[in-house]
Structures are given as structure tokens and as C-alpha cells.
Amino acid sequence: MSSSSTDQPTPAEYLPVLFGFAINQIGGVTSRLGIPDALAASALTADELATATGAHAGFLLRLLRAATTAGLLAVDAQGRFSLTVLGGMYRSDSPVQAAPLDAMHAAPAVWQAWGALEESVRTGKPAFNLVHGKGLFDHLGGDPELAGRFHAAMGAGSAVQLPAITRGFDFTGFGHVIDVGGGNGTHLAAILAANPALRGTVFDTADGVLEAPGVLKDAGVADRCEITAGSFFDSVPAGADGYLLKNILHDWDDASSKKILDNIRSGLARNGRVVVFSSVLSEGRQNEDPLEALGAAIFDIEMMVVTTGRERTLTEFEQLFAASGLRLTKVTPLPCPFLYYALEAVAA
């Protein structure tokens, strides 16, 4: 039961706020030590897990107890630890991969950046830049371990979002779509596989599209998909009737996002559409799950911490589109956490 205005808050209310940082690190360290995978085949004692992970036995036992209390693990009368349903999400082969996401968010470089959130709010500068002297994307080039965690986390997010996009958005009105910032082609390959009459182009930097030929070939869609390298800040291939932006604009501030949209607008075919797939911050819309709204709000703060970007409200998206000569025409909710939508815009 929630507390009233005259009551003291309950532990269920104040623990996530006061000690969410601790829960984050308990899950992240458990994941990075490989404990969920070590427990995939059978339950193990703390000593057996210490041998398997190379961790200090006494300190590991204390972590295991905390992870058990947090709901990630269970322990039997013989002291053998096993995964709970929640803990199973942290296995590397889980279809819902919490491990890459948590391992990235709890990684030291990202953790340190979150520690500078106050300075970020006071100065208007990304916390990651304040701590490390450079932005996240520049930092990844010199930190292979974090880069691996970052890309694994992005892949885990896509594993949830792609089925929602292919099931929840109707692509039948398009003939040719360009996935702007499409990386290795995973996103567009899934869309083309689900829409056999559709053609596509993956557009990203030369480094970004390096693996795209293999991804498209493995998906069986290479004959319907081109690969073009370039920077969306310079130009975007012209002539398509659909331009897709999945989780792109939230990485950038309004000025940079406007530049991307300006370049798309200049090449947009007549009657073409821009489709942005993104979380959308709550503005008190009816029937919204408060936890979904909280998730989107946390993502917005994460963007403040690690990038120059931001999550946006529908009103802010309308304003951003209008600044580039576009008009928001349709908003489609998608079956995906956290207030995830397809936003369609046309030339104004």
C-alpha cells in the first residue's frame, strides 16, 4: 500500500530512490563476473562460484547474498545458488538480455559519469564529457571493453525493439526506405524480411556499415538492399519515399537533430515520409503506465549523462520537425518498453 501524505514512505517506495545505485552495481557486477552463465547448467555453492569466476570467496558470498535479496538469485538449504526468472535475464543466451544493458550501465566509465550528474545539470554539459574529457562515442574508440559492452547493450535493446517495429508498424505503403544511421543493417534486414515487396538502403559511416553486407546476406535480403556510406550531417541519399530514424535523434541536441532532418527533407521524395522510432516522454497522456513513463524519463537523464542528446515529448518532436519544414502526421504506439512510438512526418 502506498503511503499517504501523513505517513512515512515505505521501504518499497524509498529503497529504489535512495539505494538504486547499489542495486545497479549488484546486478552489474554479478553480470560482469559471469555468475548467471555459470549457474545456467546447475546450482553452485559460493565456493564453486568463486572458483569459476576467480573472485574472492568471502566478498563474493556477500555479493551473492545481496543478489539473492534483490531477487536475482535463490539459495537452498545446502547453500547452493541458482537463478531466478529475473536472474535468468542476465544469461548471455537469454532472449531478453538484461546482462548487456546492465553491464554497460554499471561499467566504471559510465558509472563515473553518472556521479557527475549534478555538475552536468549545473553547467549544461554532458556528464561523460566532464569526467572523461571527451564524449562517449569518441571514448569508445580507445576503450575496447566498454565498446564491446556498449554494442552488446545496443543489440539487446534492438532484440526487443525490432519485433515491436516489424509487428506494430505498417510498411506496406513504402516502396524504398533508407535506414539513416542504420549501422550494420540489423534493423533494416528485419524490416525487409518481414516485407518482401520492400527495397531498402542502409546509410551510415564507412565504419558503421562494415558488417552490413554479411548481415544482409545472412538475412536473405541483400538483393533488395543497397549500402551507402556517408555522414548524415553532410547529406543523405535522395529519392526514397521513406526515411527511418531508429534511436538516432535522441543521441543529439536540437541543432544537430535539425541538421539531420534538414538533409533528409532536402532529399525526400514527393509524398515521402520520415519515420522516427523513439521513446516519447510523458505529457500526462491517458492510460500510460507510470513505470513506462519513469523508464522514458530515466532514458532522458541517461542521454544527459552520456551524450549531447535528449528524449523528447510529442510537443518537442512537433517543434523539431517544424524547424526542418516537416509536419508530424501520425503517432503509432508500439508494443515495446518504454513509451516507444513510431512518429511519421511529411513535408509541411
Catalytically active residues are: 250
Cα(140)–Cα(152) distance, integer angstroms? 13
CA 68 to chain centre: 27
Between strands 242-246 and 273-279, the pairing is: parallel
User: Distance (Å, rounded) from C-alpha 263 to C-alpha 255?
Assistant: 13
Segment (H or E) for 259: helix 254-267
Task: Count Cβ atoms below 10 Å from residue 76 Cβ, excluding itself.
Answer: 10
The H-or-E segment that residue 128 falls in is helix 127-132
Instruction: Give one DSSP letter per residue of 59-85, joined into a string.
Output: HHHHHHHHHHHTTSEEE-TT-EEEE-H
The neighbouring-strand residues paired with 328 are 345
Q: Edge-to-edge strands of the sheet including 340-347?
A: 225-229, 199-204, 176-180, 242-246, 273-279, 340-347, 326-333
Nearest-CA neighbor of 16 among 62, 61, 70, 68?
70
| DSSP codes of every residue in 212-251 | HHHHHHHTT-GGGEEEEE--TTT------SEEEEES-GGG
